[in-house]
Amino acid sequence: MRVIAVIPARGGSKGVPLKNISAVGQRPLIVRAVESCLDAASVHSVVVSTDSDAIADAAQRAGARIVRRPASLSGDTASSESALLHALDVIAADGDTPDVTVFVQCTSPFIDPATIDSAVSSIVADEADSVFSAVRTHEFLWRSGPEGARGINHDHGHRPRRQDREAHFRETGAFYAFRTAGFRDSQHRFFGRIGIQEVPEAHAMEVDSPEDLEVVRALAPLVDQPSPLDVDAVVTDFDGVHTDDGATVDQNGRESVTVSRSDGMGVRLLLEADVQFRILSTETNPVVNARATKLRVPVTHGVRDKRAALLTWMDDEGLDPARVAYVGNDVNDLGGMSVVGWPVAVANAHPRVLAAARLVLTRPGGAGAVREVCERVLAARKG
């Protein structure tokens, strides 16, 4: 059976402006959705239906085919079904008639391709005609009325244990799979034998508000499966990355810090693999220069604008920012993290840095975090 994924993505969004191209884990929501579909073994092609040039450009670069949605189907009152039917008509005119359609919403950033494949397989095996993603729940639901609150899915006068209660399923809105012919006949995503594709609670997040967007950004480094750290250069902050962000000060005001010896071996192996390494530090402190000398790597001191310094250095070296990693721990690293393809945070970084990271390390600063970065880069080169 031929399977096509269709992702409707309007440019207008009242709750979160430009929501569908908002970045989560350094990737726009629309790109995350396209990539999840392309990574599903059962999906042959991905179509994005949109009225937005920005969404179309991002989706096309990610590997999707673009169907331009007319204004009549792009307003707040237009149904998703109408956009799906329009997209299917457009590709049918080009001779592409899928047996199964997967309707995907890019407002769900954590879609596992394997769950899409499982939903499609239920249809291919003739076990269902339409399938939707859902999470299992044992929650007690209530309704408020004139006589007060009353239980919906339970008798509020009886409180059985969780293991003794029947499970229910909450629709996530992430994706739906269905037979294309049946969808055309019913013009609705639910018809015939309806199946449930269970997904983990962590994959059920949906972005409908600015608060939702902040939550999924914070969760992304924890939920996303880390991609290989395939880069040509690694740039790091010093305090809080090479060190634990602490210092010892003697009676003469001289500072000393503690670093991990294992970091040194990691950096040496990285340099031997022809990967550039550089320290970019806000501090102007002899200890930073001493450590850089020991590692045999260049260092830039007293940097107030790390974003500008990093952009200048990458341009001078002819580096593609998408293939550069920046490792930070505090808010003064956010500028540098914003201009590279791989913003990386140490395990004990500031919450805003953790949320901005594409990769969060398992080790804290000063305890082998630099070595972990080096090992990840080397593993990507071998793999």
CATH number for 233-382: choose from 3.40.710.10, 3.40.50.1000, 1.10.10.10, 3.40.50.12280. Answer: 3.40.50.1000
Does the pTM surpass 0.75? The reply is no
User: Residue 183 — pLDDT band, cuts 50, 70, 90?
Assistant: very high
Q: What is the pLDDT of residue 218?
A: 85
Q: What is the pLDDT of residue 383?
A: 66
Q: What pLDDT digit, counting tens, does each position of 272-282 carry? A: 999 999 999 88
Residue 62, token pair as written in the block: 């990610």
Q: Which pLDDT tens digit goes with each residue over 41-96?
A: 999 999 999 999 999 999 999 999 999 999 888 888 789 999 999 999 999 999 99
Q: Which CATH class is domain 3-223?
A: alpha beta
pLDDT score at 249: 80
Domain ranges for the chain: 3-223, 233-382
Where would I find the beta strands (DSSP E) of the chain?
3-8, 23-24, 27-28, 45-50, 65-68, 100-104, 130-137, 142-145, 148-151, 168-179, 194-198, 233-236, 248-249, 255-256, 276-280, 299-300, 324-328, 342-345, 359-360
- Please tell me the distance from the alpha carbon of residue 351 to that of residue 160, in angstroms, as a whole number: 39
- The pLDDT, as a whole number, for residue 347 is 92
Give the pLDDT of residue 312: 95
Q: What's the pLDDT score for residue 287?
A: 86
Judge whether 3-223 and 233-382 match in fold.
no
Span 344-370, average pLDDT: 91
Contact yes or no for 341/322 (Cβ under 8 A): yes
